[in-house]
Amino acid sequence: MRHRLWAVAGGAAALTLLTATGAHAEGEGDIRVTKTVVNHGKNVIVGTTKTVKYPIAITIVDDSGVKKITDLSTFNTSNAYGFATWDGDSSCVKKSTTTSVCTGTMTIDPAWIPHSDDIDSNRVAGEWQVNATVKANDGDYWISDRIALYKVKRASKLTTDATPEPVAKGATLTVNGKLTRANWENLEYHGYTGQPVKLQFRPAGGAHYSTVKTVTTGTHGKLSTKVTVTSAGSWRWYFPGTTTTARVVSAGDAVALK
């Protein structure tokens, strides 16, 4: 069995395992968290090599003014596992005498992930929550659980290859591709089977792609379909994503007419 291991960032103490619960808050005084925005409202996408940093911005109100974030953690809502670390620093921007937006930066290094839990690390993808403790200038503090929900997703890749090139008008074109996604257990990309992927076409000189058909990925995430060519243009695959896997669009493959 693997042991939960939190890497230490910037010399700060390692994070500890927390239990995911329903929304809860307690503290002392009139300090309150009124809003929390994670990663500017976007999903957090994690692959196999690149370190990901993202902000958690917390709007805090107190009659004496806001001092700082004193604790910040985030993890999966269903199983309480997470592999994002906080270095203990936060920057606060004063909006008024009583209100500040304080931001902490979370770091995910994929190299840490396989050692961060004793379950299949891929199960940690999905909905995450934010817990935080904040402090006011007069010593008031507030401990809040589940102040924000957001998605941490496995990165994905998608390819397109159309043949033959060039092709005669009215002839059959075969469009192949492959959908893969990050496997956080071995830090490689594996085929994603059984997923609906849209085949899209943009005529030469056109500004937009339109969907021609939807194809389900087969073994190893492979895609293949045949279409009748009516004009020159570019073909691509589009995967809308899932709750655990990122949306991805392949590069277009331009096909000319003979």
43/150 same-domain check:
yes
What per-residue confidence (pLDDT) applies to 27? 83
| Structural domain containing residue 186 | 156-255
112/139 same-domain check:
yes
What per-residue confidence (pLDDT) applies to 23? 56
The structure's pTM equals 0.88
234, part of any domain: yes
Tokens describing residue 56? 């958690």
Q: How many domains does the chain have?
A: 2
pLDDT in tens, the chain (258 residues): 233 333 323 223 223 333 333 456 788 899 999 999 999 999 999 999 999 999 999 999 999 999 999 999 999 999 999 999 999 999 999 999 999 999 999 999 999 999 999 999 999 999 999 999 999 999 999 999 999 999 999 999 999 999 999 999 999 999 999 999 999 999 999 999 999 999 999 999 999 999 999 999 999 999 999 999 999 999 999 999 999 999 999 999 999 999
CA 197 to chain centre: 19
What per-residue confidence (pLDDT) applies to 1? 29
* CATH number for the domain harbouring residue 139: 2.70.50
88, part of any domain: yes
What per-residue confidence (pLDDT) applies to 26? 85
Handedness of CA 90, 96, 99, 101 (dihedral sign): negative
134, part of any domain: yes
What does the alpha-carbon distance between residue 83 and residue 121 come to, in Å, rounded to a whole number?
A: 9
List of residues 6+ apart from 6 with CB closer than 8 A: 14, 15, 16, 83, 85, 112, 116
Helices (H), the chain: none
38/57 same-domain check:
yes
32/131 same-domain check:
yes
